[in-house]
Amino acid sequence: MIEVQNITKVYKTEDVEFSALRGVSFTIKDGEFVAIMGPSGSGKSTLMHILGCLDTPTNGKYLLDGKDVSTLSDDELADIRKNKIGFVFQAFNLLPRTTVMANVMLPLVYDGINAEEREKRAEKALASAGLDKEYFTHLSNQLSGGQIQRVAIARALVNQPSLILADEPTGNLDSKTSEIVLGTFQKLNTELGRTVVLITHEQDIAEHADRILFIKDGLLEERGTHVKRVANHNAEEETAGTVGSLASPSKIRVLPDHKNNKGEARLPTLPAKK
Amino acid sequence: MKTYDLLQQTYAALSGNKVRSGLTMLGIIIGIASVIAMTAIGQGAQNSIQASIQSIGSNLIIVMPGTERGPGFQVSAGRGSAQSLTIDDANAIAANVTNIEAVAPQVSGRYQVTAPGTNTNTSVDGVTSSYTTVRNVEVADGSFISDQDVAGNARVAVLGPTTSDDLFGTGSEAVGQQIRIKGQPFRVIGVTVSKGGSGFSNADDVIYVPISTAQLLLSGNKYVNTINVSANDAQNTTQVQNDITSLLLERHHISNPASADFNTLNQSDIIATASSVTGTFTTLLAAVAGISLLVGGIGIMNMMLTTVTERTREIGLRKAIGAKKKDINRQFLTEAVMLTFLGGLIGVALGWLGSFAITKLGVLDTSVSLDSVLLAFGVSAAIGIVFGYYPAKKAAEMSPIDALRYE
């Protein structure tokens, strides 16, 4: 569970102070799929860095699984990242000229887990991410964009983190591949019960989540767009259908909101899940 | 992170860019190879000089006349010019000093030597039979000067191989021939085995005659130029040298050792001096080679800095998935040390081959010491640590956020 209490982040250069976050508070429960959405410069990247324990807030508290991580040292943060957080990046960031398996096993290497156990866990993670077994021994630069992002998702899963953080995971993908990747996230959330936080600037991407946190100018405006999802416990071929059925109802509800955004007309704000 | 994983990652990183890794290593390879080869050459030179000093004799102490002393004042006519040593001194040394193998007095001079049709100017040494023991002289043909020859003032001569060739031509029989030294006829009774050496101090360009005959017919006085003493063991040379000094001081009625009319030279002193000279040269050669090693090290640092910049995003990713500073630091440090270590390994092999080639070509008997190999390994690993430290530190201290964003 994530609890963020009134965090601020101030960047100081020699003569300019810039507040990227100006007091943000929210809670994300275990097993939730939340999107953080905002235009560039809104502070969503800074928020993502703090949630991912890559950075610490200037003020305020960040409780991850009940532990305050906002004042930890660099090495302690590294341990939290290793054990509790899985990252998926826009730029994929796989090691080049390295096999899919080696890439997925990399977080476990830093955990000192033996080779046999590593392979077992990596294969499981890759299966969860929906990559076909035939690609396991391919080099990372021999894969397509969608396949690469699945490897990255598997890598984020492999250390069984309590939180999967995806930073613009579909930013470099075409719309069809994006749907598949987002479907994978939804599956992780519904089937494996993983907490997923998706950072994006695109409304239709954010709509795949249970709840959307809107951020603008360093402040949160929680408009709460809940998407009733159809549970999917079946095989992979149903994913596409599921994604479609997921996307449709959300669009009906949210698109008007999106269009009316500038006109100040909003749907009534739903209370955040507590 | 386990060592095996670290090594595997290092291998992957280095083999990912083989040409660059190879070229970077080349600097270390050349540096280490030249250090090994240079010290091997220096060591070889030292061994060869020591061997030639050893060939003069074994455990040798040489007694020579000192500066000539006049009544009340000192006439400095050069070391060895004084006439202060006699055969009686040599006999006294043989009788009174313990731990002596042999004593060989010697009268030396340079004279015109003629054989039918040729003549030459060479050094003529008046010696006794014990000279062979003391100065490691062996006879190749005929025999050496005997005690009877000395007792009977025999007019016999033993030629060095060079003198024999000069007088009678290469390959012709010298034993039994007649020669004239300073106009006096001598019969050749033997030719010695070559000792090697050439030029000014050619030990083969010499004629040996009985010491009594030399005093009577050539120098015309009762003095000797040198008393060669051989100790029975290398450990006893200092004791023998000290005993000779006190015995001769007593015999010559000199109370102050500083005004002694003779000098003693210990062979081990000569070897020590020569060794320190060649040792200095070896150090000099190694230092010059060491500079190339330093240049190689800077090459390593340059490459590691480039690598760290190139792999900024990889560093960011590794940090994001939980690598600590020390993990990143160790990764890049291992890469640098691996480069220098492999370079050192190849360098030692090349240096060894080079030294072997020099030996095979007959230039010099080089000798690769285990010390220099171990030192080379140590130095190459140290270079990896020293020049890899800064790039590794730079990598470890990158902020994961900036590193992930790096384009």
Q: Which two tokens stand for residue A214?
A: 């809107």
CA atoms of B316 and B404, how far apart (whole Å): 5
Cβ of B2 and A55 within 8 Å?
no
Which of A45, A54, A199 best probes binding to B when mutated, by most B CB atoms within 10 angstroms? Answer: A54
pLDDT confidence of residue A241: 39
- pTM, two decimal places: 0.69
Q: Which residues contact B138 (CB under 8 A, 6 or more apart)?
A: B132, B192, B193
Which mean pLDDT values do the consecutive 10-residue runs of chain B (407 residues) have? 84 88 92 89 84 78 74 50 82 90 91 90 92 88 92 93 88 88 93 71 85 91 90 87 91 85 84 86 86 89 92 91 91 92 92 90 82 86 91 92 83
Test the B interface: residue of A93, A101, A103, A163 with most B CBs within 10 Å: A93
Sign of the dihedral through C-alpha B242, B246, B248, B254: positive
Q: Residue A72 has what pLDDT? A: 86
The whole-angstrom separation of Cα A56 and Cα A74 is: 9
**Partner residues linked to B126 by β-bridges:** B107, B209
Q: What is the pLDDT of residue A174?
A: 84
Q: Measure A27 CA to nearest chain B CA, in Å.
A: 23
ipTM field:
0.77
| Euclidean distance between CA atoms A133 and A37, whole angstroms | 34
A107: nearest CB among B313, B321, B400: B321
Find how far residue B275's CA is from the centre of its chain: 5
CA distance A76 to chain B (A): 9
Please identify which residue in the block is written with the tokens 């042999």: B102
* Beta strand A17-28 pairing with A2-12: antiparallel
Render B306-344 in DSSP notation, one character per residue: HHHHHTHHHHHHHHHTT--HHHHHHHHHHHHHHHHHHHH
B319 to A78: CB separation less than 8 angstroms, yes or no: yes
Helix/strand/coil percent split, chain B, to 5: 55, 20, 25
Whether the CB-CB separation of A60 and A6 falls below 8 Å is answered with yes
> B-side interface with A, Cβ within 8 Å?
1-2, 5, 9, 12, 16, 313-314, 316-327, 400-401, 404
Q: B321, A98: Cβ pair inside 8 Å?
A: no
Closest CA to B42 of B272, B379, B292, B358: B358
| Chain A: residue whose CA lies nearest to B407 | A91
Q: Which two tokens stand for residue B214?
A: 């030399």
Mean pLDDT of A113-130: 87
Of the candidates A83, A95, A111, which has its C-beta nearest B314's C-beta?
A: A95
In this structure, the strands spanning A195-200 and A163-167 are parallel
Q: Give residue A272's pLDDT.
A: 47
Label each residue of A137-202 as H, E or C. CCEHHHCCHHHHHHHHHHHHHCCCCCEEEEECCCCCCCHHHHHHHHHHHHHHHHHCCCEEEEEECC
Q: Contact A74/B325, CB-based, under 8 Å?
A: yes
- pLDDT at position B337 is 92
Q: What is the mean pLDDT of residues A136-165?
A: 87
CA angle at B104 for the pair B102 and B109, rounded to the nearest 5°: 165
Distance from the Cα of B43 to chain A's closest Cα (Å) equals 48
Using pLDDT thresholds of 50, 70 and 90, give the confidence band for residue A265: very low
Query: Do A86 and A161 form a contact (C-beta atoms < 8 A)?
Result: yes
Please give, rounded to a whole number of angstroms, the shortest distance from the CA of B280 to a CA of chain A.
51
Give dist(CA A244, CA B26) in Å, integer. 60
Query: Which one is predicted more confidently, A272 or B406?
Result: B406
- Measure the CA angle with vertex A23, ends A22 and A25; round to 5°: 140
Position B196 scores a pLDDT of 67
Q: Which residues of B272-304 are buried (b: 16+ CB within 10 A; e: fewer)?
A: eeebeebeeebeebbeebbebbeebbebbbebb
Mean confidence (pLDDT) of chain A: 78
